[in-house]
A and B are shown apart, each in its own frame.
Chain A
Amino acid sequence: MIVAEPKPISEVAELVRDSNHLLIVGCGECVTVCQVGGEKEVEVLASALRIMWKKDGRKGTIDTQTIVRQCEPEYVAELAKKVKEADCVLSLGCGVGVQFIAEAYPDKWVVPGLNTSFGGGTVQAGVWEERCGFCGDCILHLTGGICPIIRCSKSILNGPCGGSQDGHCELDKDIPCAWQLIYDRLKGLGRLDLLDAVQPPKDWTASRDGGPRKFVKEEAMIE
């Protein structure tokens, strides 16, 4: 899933400083799971902002709505009525959600309430960790199911570098060395031979910096 983190409330308050009719929009997908942009978080943020505004003597209104998914136009369309009444939309969706709302409502000011962080999963209650860098050319079959592109701090394809010690990355003792993990797992599986081939330079054309990537599945298209 997409994992995001809340922007500090002071920053959010600044982003909506000029609004008198604010709409805060939640999303029922990833950000609900990582507990930063679901219905509950939307209501908590609305209450906090209302208190701040009241303290500042402001007389604005703050409305809320949480939709199934901010990354699909048909759900974003459900916001039409409330968006019309608002002068600013604060999205608690990921960066995709913010942009889909902005695209759907060209005359409306839309701001992000979250910092979209990474593609990851839940490692324990309340802790989410990155697993995928969306490079567009998966090589997990070569590395025992552990991604060196995103989990190695230098994205080394022929690791480990000289900084790996006692299982840690040179950056921090709290960061496991991805290549130690790869080595241990392949050793356990009896597949260390996979590490003997020199991996060639990666073709990054499937990754970022070629404009927005697009995936088309023709059989899913509706005329």
Chain B
Amino acid sequence: MTAADAAQAAAAAGAGGQGDGAAGATSGGPRGGGCRTSSRLERVLREGHFAVTCEIGPPQSSKSEGILKHASVLKDYSDGQNLTDNQTAIVRLCSLAAAVHVIRAGGEPIMQMTARDRNRIAIQSDILGAASLGVRNILCLAGDHQTFGNHPGARNVHDIDSLQMVQMVRAMRDEKKFQCGDQIKSHEPRMFVGAAANPFGDPFEFRVRRLAKKIAAGAEFIQTQCIFDMDRFEKWMRMVRDEGLDEKVFILAGITPVKSDKALKYIRTVPGMKVPDELIKRMEGAADKKAEGVNIAVEMIQRLKEMKGVHGVHIMAIAWESIVPEIVERAGLYPRPEVEVEEPAEAEVAVG
């Protein structure tokens, strides 16, 4: 059985007992087709533009200024801004509130949600709350293990996994059902549903098959782990195309600009990351390492723009959000397309 068959089989089998499996069955070709949400990101992707998303890391305090500042700039250089959910298990301003700050600044938030800290009750509750405040995109994740963060003694939750979260959010939207099967009588949350994929994790040969499972569960867009090993990414993309998965889901390739060879050497030690020697050598030899980091990011985006099946890039400039506009401009991705988004029929709370 191929991965594509697997996706179909899983969908046909009811995608794990969620209703009639509509979520999986309607994962829908990336291009064309109507939008199912009033997400601007969804519109950009369905109209066939090469999308740009980026990442804003909320602060370890209740100060919102940084988020507002970054969002007010990045909204013009990207089609969506991810708000990380206590990344590396360090307590930060929550992704839902951060997403609302982004809306206040005129941006398009992609709320990240991990299964580490919340059970299915809390996740669904947060999704209802986020939708009521105008959030239209969600990225469903497992979450970094708590022992990496600043509360290693915390108990993790993992009531559901990221794939099951995708399935749940799709069922809330398309079947108007809570995970338990109860009907959402009105105002179902209409999120454009994303998931992550790591082409650099193992077992490599299963990675594409698992992507097919995520699509079967209902993932509509994928943001990948940051790419440093472009050859391996190309190999992964070939496998993705062989299974026809790029026709079923939007793939945004992850890019992280780095400021030094030291940063690359550290990233190399992070589980699930691969950094080739040549890249480290190139950074070591650079006189202006920051500038070289930007050059590398721009070159990688150029390559990704030409790669069949890649529908956009996701720029994760960790603690370096201010560099994103330069990268986007130099990669020839500025200005961003202007798209018409249908406002939700029912009046919802406007923020700001």
Contacts and interface: CB of A to CB of B under 8 A. Distances in A.
Interface in A141-164: 153-164
A116 B202 CA distance: 34
Interface string B115-128: 11000100000000
Contact of B116 (A154, A164, A183): A154
Greatest chain A CB density within 10 A among B5, B6, B144, B210 is at: B210
A158 B271 contact: no
Interface string B1-40: 1000110011001011110000010000000000000000
B283 interface: no
Interface string A183-208: 11000000011011111111010000
21 contacts: A154-B115, A154-B116, A154-B142, A154-B161, A158-B162, A161-B201, A162-B201, A164-B202, A164-B272, A165-B200, A170-B271, A177-B202, A180-B202, A183-B206, A192-B1, A196-B1, A196-B10, A198-B216, A201-B159, A201-B179, A202-B159
B64 interface: no
Contacts of B314: none
Greatest chain A CB density within 10 A among B9, B162, B203 is at: B203
B262 interface: no
B194 to A, nearest CB: 14
A160 B163 CA distance: 11
A198 B17 CA distance: 9
Nearest to A159: B161
Contact of A163 (B13, B120, B203, B271): B271
A193 B5 CA distance: 10
Interface bracket on B: 35 or more
Contacts of B225: 162
A202 B54 CA distance: 33
Interface of A: 153-171, 177, 180, 183-184, 192-193, 195-202, 204
A204 B180 CA distance: 13
B203 A180 contact: yes
State the main secondary structure of chain A at its contact with B: loop
Nearest to B161: A156
B159 A197 contact: no
B158 interface: yes
B240 to A, nearest CB: 16
B150 interface: no
A156 B142 contact: yes
B142 A193 contact: no
Contacts of A204: 159
B142 A200 contact: no
Nearest to A155: B158
A142 to B, nearest CB: 12
Contact of A200 (B18, B147, B156, B196): B18
A176 to B, nearest CB: 12
B147 A171 contact: yes
A200 B145 CA distance: 22
B202 A198 contact: no
B202 A157 contact: no
Given A180-B203, A201-B164, A204-B159, A193 B272 contact: no
Contacts of B316: none
Nearest to B273: A165
A165 B271 contact: yes
A167 to B, nearest CB: 7
Contact of B24 (A168, A193, A198): A198
Contact of B213 (A170, A196, A202): A196
B73 interface: no
A157 B210 CA distance: 12
B167 interface: yes
A154 B145 contact: yes
B163 A198 contact: yes
Contacts of A154: 115-116, 142-143, 145, 156, 158, 161
Nearest to B143: A154
B179 A164 contact: no
Nearest to A162: B198
A166 B1 CA distance: 25
Interface string B136-161: 00000011110100000000101111
B1 A193 contact: yes
A198 B272 contact: no
A153 B164 contact: no
A204 B168 CA distance: 17
Contacts of B315: none
A181 B15 CA distance: 24
Contact of B202 (A158, A166, A171, A201): A166
A182 to B, nearest CB: 10
Nearest to B160: A201
B146 to A, nearest CB: 10
Contacts of B173: none
B75 interface: no
Contacts of A202: 159-160
B1 A160 contact: no
A36 to B, nearest CB: 24
Given A154-B156, A198-B163, A160 B206 contact: yes
B163 A165 contact: no
A171 B164 CA distance: 22
